[in-house]
Amino acid sequence: MGFACGCVGLPNVGKSTLFNVLLKKAVAEASNYAFCTVEPNKGHVAVSDARLEMLSKVEGSKKIIFPTLTCIDIAGLIKGASEGQGLGNKFLGHIRQVDLIMHVARCFDDKEITHVEGKIDPVADIELVETELILADIELLEKWLNKKADRNLRTKEEMSLAKKAIDLLSKGIYLSSVEFEDKDKNWLKTMGVITILPKFYIANLAEEDVQNGNNHLDSLKAAYPNEIIIPVSAKLEESFLDLDEKEQQEMYEMYNLKENGLNYVLKTGYKMLNLQTYFTVGPKEARGWTITKDSTAPEAAGVIHTDFERGFISADVISYEDFIECNGSQEAKIQGKIRQEGKKYIVQDGDICNFKFNV
């Protein structure tokens, strides 16, 4: 089960630097000219979870494996991308592959780093990008409606939904802000409609502004009061990469930052994608597995291996809290805290599972 977050924005807003930090290594070229990222860089990013470290300590696991999200650094978009300007066609093709949009807005001043629009204005930048995405979605849906070859394959419901979406988009309404039934939302996603995807904004600040923000961040918050906006300094976070864990913590404290900004970005993405984590724990490893909320025990087992789902018999389950309170699986078993659950059980966030199967 894969979930991909796409990192988008205008050229030179810090997307590739942010991507480098997310992957904890410099795999994306971060250069001061437009289109330095042409093909999308992709990487699996660990989502830190303090519970796993505690489980490993209690059980004496030799290794910890955190759950992951796939992050994609997508080439910068410019005005006219919906008509193929710049790398528009490639950009739109790549962004249609993701499940969540992380929109990076430049909120720092730097004369040495050019801006494709000539001035720093994060609100205008976001409006430009989102206008291009709206125009691209209108074109996509209109082509589908007008394509003669598909006419016999369309249902009245699909045509009605496409026309409704076009009408909303034509009024400048971003589709993710509209309440759709799940089946309609899924159909739009399957069609490749970009504006139906959930999104949040990342305000990329200069190092000196990360504590108190600046006018650019204030304007962004004023323009989008109901949106999630996460202030980070990609450059500052990047400078911490070569430090050990203790030194990094000291630096965060020096800047009065409670949490690694990129960890918060990932946790936000995890939450917006309606994901949660269950654990498997043993002497070899303590591991987190990513599932969607409301997943059944067989579906959760299938994330480990399809055979686990196909031949599912039952699952031995204990909550994280009970596991810690009992100081491990042995005492938990003695106290009767480990439950046997069947195919209809809905796995909860933090469950520790041991699956029984037969194929």
Phi, psi of 339 (to 5 degrees): -105, 150
Residue 82, pLDDT score: 47
Whole-angstrom Cα Rg for the chain: 23
Residue 162, classified by CB atoms within 10 Å of its CB into exposed (0-12), middle (13-18) or buried (19+), is buried
Pairwise CA distance, residues 191 & 184, whole Å: 11
Q: Is 15 annotated as a binding residue?
A: yes
Helix axes 182-191, 156-170, angle to 10 degrees: 80
Residue 70, pLDDT score: 83
pLDDT digits (tens, 9 = 90+) for 6-45: 888 888 888 888 888 887 754 444 444 333 344 557 788 8
Pairwise CA distance, residues 201 & 4, whole Å: 16
Q: Is 13 annotated as a binding residue?
A: yes
| Parts of the chain with a pLDDT under 50 | 1, 26-38, 81-82, 85-88
Phi, psi of 306 (to 5 degrees): -60, -30
Residue 309, pLDDT score: 96
- In this prediction, what percent of the chain has a pLDDT beyond 70? 87
In one letter, which amino acid is 232?
A: V
- The dihedral through the CA atoms of 167, 169, 174, 176 has a sign that is positive
Pairwise CA distance, residues 179 & 172, whole Å: 16
- In this prediction, what percent of the chain has a pLDDT beyond 90? 54
Residue 246, pLDDT score: 84
Pairwise CA distance, residues 102 & 200, whole Å: 5
The distance from CA 98 to its chain's CA centroid, rounded to whole angstroms, is 9
Q: In what order do the strands lie in the sheet with 352-357?
A: 63-65, 285-292, 275-281, 352-357, 312-318, 339-341
Domain locations in the chain? 294-357
The distance from CA 359 to its chain's CA centroid, rounded to whole angstroms, is 34
Q: Is 17 annotated as a binding residue?
A: yes
SS3 content of the chain, % helix, strand, coil (to 5): 45, 20, 40
**Domain 294-357, CATH:** 3.10.20.30
Residue 278, classified by CB atoms within 10 Å of its CB into exposed (0-12), middle (13-18) or buried (19+), is buried
pLDDT digits (tens, 9 = 90+) for 268-315: 888 899 999 999 999 999 999 999 999 999 999 999 999 999 999 999
Model confidence, pTM: 0.82
